[in-house]
Amino acid sequence: MSERITITRPDDWHLHVRDGDFLKAVLPDTVKRFARAIIMPNLKPPVISVAQAKAYYDRIMASLPAGASFTPLMTLYLTENSRVEEMELAKQSGFVQAVKYYPAGATTNSDSGVRQWGSVEAVLEAMEQLGLPLLVHGEVTDPHVDVFDRERVFIEEELIPLVLKYPKLKVVLEHITTASAVKFVLTAGSNVAATVTAHHLLLNRNALFQGGIRPHHYCLPVLKRETHRQALLEAVISGNPKFFLGTDSAPHAQNVKENACGCAGIYTAHAAIELYAEAFESVGALDKLEGFASFYGADFYGLARNKDQITIEKQQVKVPLTLPYGSQSLVPMRSGEYLIWSLVA
């Protein structure tokens, strides 16, 4: 029999599932693998209130495959008009777990994001007191800053001052891509953690230009050079609980990716744990996968660890060229190519 590993069922601490018909297209992929996922609020319009988060939660639950056991962990989108009362309601709700910070203009549907930290001071103070985590898209938006430096500059100019100003605020630096981010997280207190995607562990920026321009490898923060990928790998296999799984699986229809101005996002939900296993195995550290995928995120959020398990086996499977996406299609990571690991049903 082929090699198998069984781990506690993982959770995805950063996921985009979109809305409407798209929910039914993408949720089954996540639900097969994960027990819970932190659901990003960058819909159009964004999810800014607890009432909107509840309605979105209900739409997700109504779109789950029959018999699925899955808990969406909802987030609110931080705007300059967010109010302290809404944070209190979020904490009391039991279904909103965190608040997402997007710098205005940084990425998909981020126009309602924050321009000046000064305008959210009271809200951040309230979150610090309530123990409501701030999930940070860590990039500056200044067009004069080189796109490959935007995460490092954000950390230096905005994030270090922020964590000094709110020393007890729980912060997750999302989808980290650089050695600077790893160093920042390691140096910060235990209230600061990071999620790491499978694509940033498996690909460096050469993947954007492999024999031509590759829109399906375009995401934000953009892929970085190999030394940074190595730093991320080292962080996730260190067993340090500050680094945990967040796919940032971000579906977009094929035609908006294969476009003169293609949008950012890589779809990995169809093979998420398989891709992470491949990354961990590439550095001989499969034994570190379970902590990263199934324990540290729950511990950081103060939630119980899952009790059931999943099994993956060493078995080559070909990824379809496209997957159905509402009335459209999407191109998944590894489209037309092989995965090394596969999920045992």
Task: Give the footprint of Zn ion on this chain (CB under 5 A).
Answer: 248
Helices 179-187 and 226-236, axial angle in degrees (round to 10): 30
Q: Which of 145, 186, 264, 340 binds ligand DOR (CB under 6 A)?
A: 264
Pairing of strands 171-173, 134-136: parallel
248 in active site: yes
Contacts of 170 (CB under 8 A, 6+ apart): 127, 131, 132, 133, 134, 191, 192, 300
Whichever of 48 and 126 has its CB closer to Zn ion, that residue is 48
Task: Give the ranges where the chain is alpha helix by DSSP (H).
Answer: 21-33, 50-63, 84-93, 121-130, 150-154, 160-165, 179-187, 198-202, 226-236, 254-257, 272-282, 289-290, 296-301
Whichever of 61 and 264 has its CB closer to ligand DOR, that residue is 264
* 195 is an interface residue for ligand DOR by CB under 6 A: no
Smallest gap from residue 88 Cβ to Zn ion (A): 26
Whichever of 5 and 220 has its CB closer to ligand DOR, that residue is 220
Whichever of 29 and 248 has its CB closer to Zn ion, that residue is 248
Radius of gyration of the chain (CA): 19
Q: Which of 219, 275, 289, 331 binds ligand DOR (CB under 6 A)?
A: 219
- Residue 103 binds what, of ligand DOR, Zn ion, none (CB under 5 to 8 Å, by partner type)? none
Q: Token match 């090699």: residue?
A: 3
Question: What is the layout of strands, in order, in the sheet containing 36-39?
Answer: 12-15, 36-39, 71-77, 96-101, 134-136, 171-173, 192-196, 243-245
- Size of residue set near ligand DOR by CB under 6 A: 10
Smallest gap from residue 76 Cβ to ligand DOR (A): 16
Measured between alpha carbons, how far is 293 from 243 in angstroms, rounded to an integer?
Answer: 9
- Could you say which residues in the range 266-325 bind ligand DOR, by CB under 6 A? none
Residue 290: CB atoms within 10 Å: 17
Smallest gap from residue 13 Cβ to Zn ion (A): 11
Whichever of 113 and 291 has its CB closer to ligand DOR, that residue is 113
Catalytic residue among 11, 142, 248, 287: 248
* 222 is an interface residue for ligand DOR by CB under 6 A: no
Task: Give 194-245 as a DSSP string.
Answer: EEE-HHHHH--GGGGGSSS--GGG--SSPP--HHHHHHHHHHHTTT-TTEEE
Whichever of 102 and 244 has its CB closer to ligand DOR, that residue is 102
- Residue 86 binds what, of Zn ion, ligand DOR, none (CB under 5 to 8 Å, by partner type)? none
* 330 is an interface residue for ligand DOR by CB under 6 A: no
* 137 is an interface residue for ligand DOR by CB under 6 A: yes
* 107 is an interface residue for ligand DOR by CB under 6 A: yes
- Could you say which residues in the range 47-106 bind ligand DOR, by CB under 6 A? none
Q: Residue 132 phi/psi, 5° resolution?
A: -95, 115
Interacting residues with ligand DOR (CB under 6 A): 16, 42, 107-108, 137, 219-220, 250, 264-265
Active site residues: 248
